Structure 1
Amino acid sequence: MGDTDWTWRYESAAGDLVSLTPADTVDGFPSQADAETWIGEEWARLLEAGVDAVTLLEGDRVVYGPMSLHPAT
């Protein structure tokens, strides 16, 4: 696998894919830890951009998700 095999899939509350501009996201991460650190820092901005949930992928394999970006109530 290459240097950017870990990616996030961005989803709406209905489960549809949400397209983001390149400025709103990162193409990929070298490790799961890097991907999770990034989402931990950027989740609120993604939520404002219309993303309700994310799914972590390693290549084509779903690692986990969808995971809501909304704060627990």
Structure 2
Amino acid sequence: MSAGLGDYRWVAFDSAGAVVSDGIPAGFFPTQADAEAWFAESWEEFADAGAAAVSLVHVENVVYGPMPLTPA
């Protein structure tokens, strides 16, 4: 897959580290800044859907994470 628009996305994980998709808001973003701004406004929806952590992914590479959704 070549890099292009919509290549940034969030992946959610439950407390056991399994990927969570049910009830998780989906979005693909053209830039890391766009993805982070959207997540800053949407993170509670991830937690409400059972996510314990998230990773930011660009194409197939993890930019960072998993990042817990609870205070350290």
Q: TM tier, shorter chain?
A: 0.7 to 0.9
Gapped runs of 5+ residues in structure 2? none
Structure 1 residue 44: Cα displacement? 1.1
Gapped runs of 5+ residues in structure 1? none
What root-mean-square deviation, in Å, do the aligned CA atoms of Structure 1 and Structure 2 show? 1.4
Distance 1:27 1:35 in 2: 8
Map residues 1-73 of structure 1 onto 2, 5 A cutoff.
1-21=3-23, 24-70=24-70, 72=71
Structure 1 residue 46: Cα displacement? 1.1
TM-score by length of 1: 0.86
Amino acid at match of 2:9: T
1:61 and 1:32, CA in 2 relative to 1: closer, same or farther beyond 3 A?
same
Distance 1:13 1:47 in 2: 11
Dislocated runs of 4+, deviation >4 Å: none
TM-score by length of 2: 0.87
Secondary structure of the 1:4 match is coil
